[in-house]
Amino acid sequence: MTVQTVRTQPFSDQKPGTSGLRKQVPTFQQPHYLENFIQSIFDSLEGAQGQTLVVGGDGRYYNRQAIQTILKMAAANGFGRVLVGQGGILSTPAASCVIRKHQAFGGIILSASHNPGGPEGDFGVKYNTGNGGPAPEKVTNAIFQRSQVIDEYKILDASDVDLDRIATHTLGNTRVEVIDSVTDYAALMESLFDFDQIQQFITSGNFRLCMDSLHAVTGPYAKAIFERRLNAPAGTVQNGEPLEDFGGGHPDPNLVYAKDLVKVMFGEDAPDFGAASDGDGDRNMILGRNFFVTPSDSLAVLAANATLVPGYRQGLAGIAR
């Protein structure tokens, strides 16, 4: 395995926002485009040598190919360890959890949130810092400034890593660990919420729920937590397999795009509770039986009752929109 230094030229359109750099897939597939942006991220970081990087995404088209490139570039740029979600899957909240739990230097999340996927769909790359949150403007500005003058990037000449099997690999001097995408996040949720009490409530027979993952990233998390840990009936999670094109759908949790969930919740013998999540799992929609809860009201209810949850008895430091 040798480190290759590849000559390149800047692209003028690589200015990231707080949600990273979002473009259509063909734009990212241009020669050097993804590599330029990743190298610009690495060049903008101080003290990353030998540190841990987290990598994962929402499973959309080009996710796997991009991850292979990022792993080889991370190795070429001196990261000591990379944690990557199995199958390339990590929801945005789960990536934040993994970054903080493993005291990683930061993480690269591949997602275009609720935007459509597929070969002609959208793709995105964002960098999260060591606190698990999105890179602040100071960092994104530095990344953009570097992207405007970049003239080379480093990448390891190596075979692809098997992303589908939990295992540890070596790329040059870098240890790449393919981790279970759900385990750390599920453990965090169980530390915050009383899973035993929720399980008793769900299995009492007096409460039914339906979770629609829209063929996006939250399917594995919802199945592991709701159906296996909390013993909700099989089939509670619908559209639970992440697909590169989101099954031809649009992973935006609203009354238009979450039509399968709406049909269930407004149909005969509807469950008591319904929810849908967006492409990368950081936004949701809540429904009751024949009832829609606006996102602002949903957040208000959560905030008002937060102190009833074991992990938040001391109150909240803040809430996000």
Give the model's confidence band at 17: pLDDT under 50 very low, under 70 low, under 90 confident, else very high: confident
pLDDT at position 295 is 85
Over the chain, what is the mean pLDDT?
A: 95
Per-residue pLDDT at 1 exceeds 90: no
Model confidence, pTM: 0.94
Give percent of the chain above pLDDT 70. 100
170-196 average pLDDT score: 97
Choice among 113, 147, 181, 213 that is catalytic: 113
Give the model's confidence band at 321: pLDDT under 50 very low, under 70 low, under 90 confident, else very high: low
pLDDT at position 148 is 98
Give the model's confidence band at 74: pLDDT under 50 very low, under 70 low, under 90 confident, else very high: very high
pLDDT at position 319 is 84
Per-residue pLDDT at 82 exceeds 70: yes
Query: Is 113 in the active site?
Result: yes
Which has the closest alpha carbon to 296: 272, 261, 271, 320? 320
Per-residue pLDDT at 215 exceeds 80: yes
116-126 average pLDDT score: 95
Per-residue pLDDT at 286 exceeds 70: yes
